Amino acid sequence: MPILLAIETSCDETAAAVLRGFEGVLAHEIFSQAEIHSHFGGVVPEVASRNHLVSAPVIIDSAMEKAGLRIQDLDAIAATTGPGLASSLLVGAAAAKGLCIGAGKPFLAINHIEGHLLSPFFGHETIPPHTALVVSGGHTLLLDVEGFGRYRLLGRTLDDAAGEAFDKVAKLFGLGYPGGIEIDRMARSGNPARFEFPRGMIDSGDLDFSFSGLKTAVRTFLEKHGTPAVVDLPDICASFQAAVIDVLISKLFKAARQNSRRVISLSGGVSANSSLRSRSIERAAGEGLEIHFPPQGLLTDNALMIAFAAAHHLAASSSLSPLRSDSVKKMLSELKKHLFPIYDSLLTDFLETCFNQFAVA
């Protein structure tokens, strides 16, 4: 069975995983920068990429050590190449490509959304036909999935992503970053029916979403009522959360109905939300639908979902050749353009690690 190393650096997590076949987890390492970015109330791209430069070699080393393997033992190396923060993506992709050239391995470029999309079926060799809702900090998408590689976009957010709405509203409430977890925690003891917030586009007739009106409604509410009293915060959080979830659930089940799918999936950071999970599980049971979520550890950004998507790409491709060095040179000059010159020494150290340390002797 092929063994893959995957690297994920699309946002503020530096992650590396080693996967054998579709289900053999040999390593699953994540360094979250959330604490660092919480001081700024959100992800600062330059800070994220600088920290990836420092932590990527450590996380990759650690994953390989946990797997008990050398780079030469791998069949291919994958990295997330988009969508995400340009300067962060480049760090993971440069590391993976550097290792590929050093060890003469094929490189697999993986789409971050496909990583989330397939994660509810982690371990499966076949992806069943289903309706998928991908809800993260950067994306809110509804897709019809025929099987691996056969995806049709049904709807998407026209403005903010659902997770982005959670994060921005949490900031308005003075809660920490990432906001989704904080709101989820607060909302558990709150009354979702106490305040009425708008359910954007719930009756739009299509499968698109909009969450910026909801964010504005919360801001207006706060301007009118002032900073919420601590005792009211659980009710406000629960009411806001219910507005987001009502729309997500309504459109997900509508999409499944329209496409005659009996299987549905939810993925991405927001699919960790306790109310979204319990309500969608209950509704699926009521409608006789099979429902899938990513396993714990694969909900928010991670490299194992990237490795799993890469395993499917590997299985679907008839031949892969080792990466050539000229494609990497272009990428490195891109990487340099995205970073301030002050980081040149860090960059040099990092590239030396990637190119030399693992190179075949």
Least distance from Zn ion to the Cβ atom of residue 304, Å? 12
CB of 137 to ligand KG4, least distance (A): 3
- Which residue number, 81 or 136, has a Cβ lying nearer to Zn ion? 136
Site of tokens 């939810």: 266
Q: Which is nearer to Zn ion, 144 or 301 (CB)?
A: 301
CB of 301 to ligand KG4, least distance (A): 4
Beta carbon nearer to Zn ion, 10 or 280: 10
Q: Which residues bind ligand KG4 (CB under 6 A)?
A: 11, 136-138, 163, 166-167, 178-181, 184, 268-270, 272-273, 300-301
CA distance 251 to 142: 8
Alpha-carbon distance of 168 to 149, in angstroms, equals 33
Residue 353 in the binding site for Zn ion (CB under 5 A): no
Nearer to ligand KG4, 277 or 336 (CB): 277
Give, as ranges, the residues between 282 and 311 that touch Zn ion (CB under 5 A): 301
Query: Nearest to residue 99, comparing CAs of 165, 40, 18?
Result: 18
Which one of Zn ion, ligand KG4, none interacts with residue 273, CB within 5 to 8 A by kind? ligand KG4
- What lies within 8 Å, CB to CB, of 344 at 6+ separation is 336
Q: Residue 130 is inside which H or E element, if any?
A: strand 130-135
Residue 138 CB, shortest distance to ligand KG4, in Å, is 4
Contacts of 148 (CB under 8 A, 6+ apart): 118, 126, 127, 312, 316
Closest CB to ligand KG4 among residues 30, 311? 30
* Among Zn ion, ligand KG4, none, residue 270 binds (CB under 5-8 Å by kind): ligand KG4
Is residue 23 within 8 A of residue 43, CB to CB? The reply is no
Least distance CB 320 / ligand KG4 (angstroms): 27
Quickly count: other Cβ atoms within 10 Å of residue 69's Cβ: 17
CB atoms within 10 A of CB 98: 27
The count of C-alpha atoms lying within 13 angstroms of the C-alpha of 306, restricted to the half-sphere facing its C-beta, is: 38
When the beta carbons of 135 and 311 are compared against ligand KG4, the nearer one is: 135
Closest distance of CB 16 from ligand KG4, Å: 16
Binding partner of residue 181 among Zn ion, ligand KG4, none, CB under 5 to 8 Å per kind? ligand KG4
Answer whether 134's CB lies under 8 Å from 154's CB: no
Residue (12 or 144) nearer to ligand KG4, CB: 12
For residue 281, how many other CB atoms are within 10 A of its CB? 14
Q: At what angle do helices 86-103 and 45-67 cross, to 10 degrees?
A: 30
Among residues 14, 88, 131, 136, the one that binds Zn ion under rule CB under 5 A: 136
- Residues of this chain that interact with Zn ion (CB under 5 A) are 136, 301
